[in-house]
């Protein structure tokens, strides 16, 4: 994991919400980990520590051809009660950090605009909070998601890219699988990143990563 000197500490970090630290090579050497999830001292209570069992299914034959580019406009995960009707656009700040949804928009997911749009060939990257200083957030029920569950991403073209979860992984942020998450793929795939584990030093210790394949 690559970190920025400004990440995860100081008043600037708290003011702008949690961030994701990235290295300079956007496709070859991204080092990303969610930070500042579930900080103590907010008006609400943090969600309980969450742990998911790592699981994976065999990669199946591609069930759907890649879609043309079209920006995501929402996120639905029925298994976790997620039904977001908007999608934030996440870019890099001047400190080379990939922004995540700000604390006051913790019920909205974000799409990293440096990745493909969901449904295109390659890994589309979405980010959503498990909790923040204000309490449980959009992915508070991430532990209810299992292999084979649907992730639907409405798109600006009026269609919806449907993905099925193929793998679930929880890792300590120090061991973030950079190339597995961001490496090029020959298929349209989705990566959904959130936080998990206990709060250590004011932040969640882990990332939970959902890997999903386009099915329609």
Strand partners, 197: 50
Which of 11-15, 63-67, 186-190 reaches the highest mean pLDDT? 186-190
Whether the predicted pLDDT of 172 surpasses 70: yes
Identify the residue with better confidence: 41 or 180: 180
Judged by phi (left if over 0) then psi (alpha if -120 to 50, else beta), residue 138 lies in alpha
CA-CA distance, 55 to 43, in Å (whole number)? 35
DSSP string, 108-135: S-EEETTSPPBTBSEEEEEE--SEETTE
Residue owning tokens 């080092």: 31
CA-CA distance, 49 to 37, in Å (whole number)? 11
- What confidence tier does 19 reach under pLDDT thresholds 50, 70, 90? very low
CA-CA distance, 128 to 193, in Å (whole number)? 6
CA-CA distance, 170 to 125, in Å (whole number)? 16
**Nearest CA-CA partner of 193 in 111, 114, 134:** 111
Chain segment 63-85, per-residue pLDDT in tens? 789 999 999 999 999 999 999 99
CA-CA distance, 99 to 201, in Å (whole number)? 21
- What confidence tier does 166 reach under pLDDT thresholds 50, 70, 90? very high
Candidate from 12-16, 22-26, 81-85, 124-128 with smallest mean pLDDT: 12-16
Identify the residue with better confidence: 164 or 47: 164
CA-CA distance, 27 to 131, in Å (whole number)? 28
- What confidence tier does 98 reach under pLDDT thresholds 50, 70, 90? low
Q: Give the model's pLDDT for residue 64.
A: 80
Identify the residue with better confidence: 206 or 64: 206
CA-CA distance, 174 to 194, in Å (whole number)? 15
Chain segment 122-148, per-residue pLDDT in tens? 999 999 999 998 999 999 999 999 999
Q: Where are the beta strands (DSSP E) in 24-158?
A: 55-56, 75-77, 82-84, 88-90, 97-99, 110-112, 122-127, 131-132, 135-136, 150-154
Find how far residue 136's CA is from the centre of its chain.
16
Find how far residue 30's CA is from the centre of its chain.
14
Which residues fall within 8 angstroms of residue 150, CB to CB, at 6 or more apart?
A: 76, 77, 78, 79, 162, 163, 164, 165
In the chain, what are the domains?
A: 10-214 (2.40.260.10)
């Amino acid at each position: 994991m690559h970190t920025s000197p400004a990440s995860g500490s100081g008043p600037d970090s708290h003011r702008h919400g949690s961030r994701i630290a990235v290295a300079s090579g956007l496709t070859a050497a991204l080092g990303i980990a969610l930070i500042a999830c579930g900080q103590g001292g907010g008006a609400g209570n943090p969600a309980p520590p969450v742990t998911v069992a790592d699981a994976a299914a065999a990669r199946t034959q591609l069930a759907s051809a890649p879609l043309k580019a079209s920006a995501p406009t929402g996120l639905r995960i029925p298994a976790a009660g997620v039904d977001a009707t908007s999608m934030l656009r996440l870019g890099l700040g001047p400190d080379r950090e990939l922004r995540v949804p700000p604390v006051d928009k913790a019920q909205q997911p974000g799409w990293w605009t440096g990745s493909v749009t969901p449904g295109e060939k390659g890994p589309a990257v979405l980010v959503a909070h498990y909790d923040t200083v204000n309490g449980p957030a959009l992915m508070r029920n991430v532990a209810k998601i299992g292999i084979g569950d649907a992730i639907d991403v409405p798109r600006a073209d009026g269609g919806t890219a449907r993905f099925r979860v193929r793998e679930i992984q929880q890792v300590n942020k120090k061991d973030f699988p950079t190339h597995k998450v961001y490496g090029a793929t020959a298929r349209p795939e989705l990566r959904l990143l959130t936080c998990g584990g206990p709060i250590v030093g004011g932040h969640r210790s882990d990332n939970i990563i959902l890997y999903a394949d386009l099915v329609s």
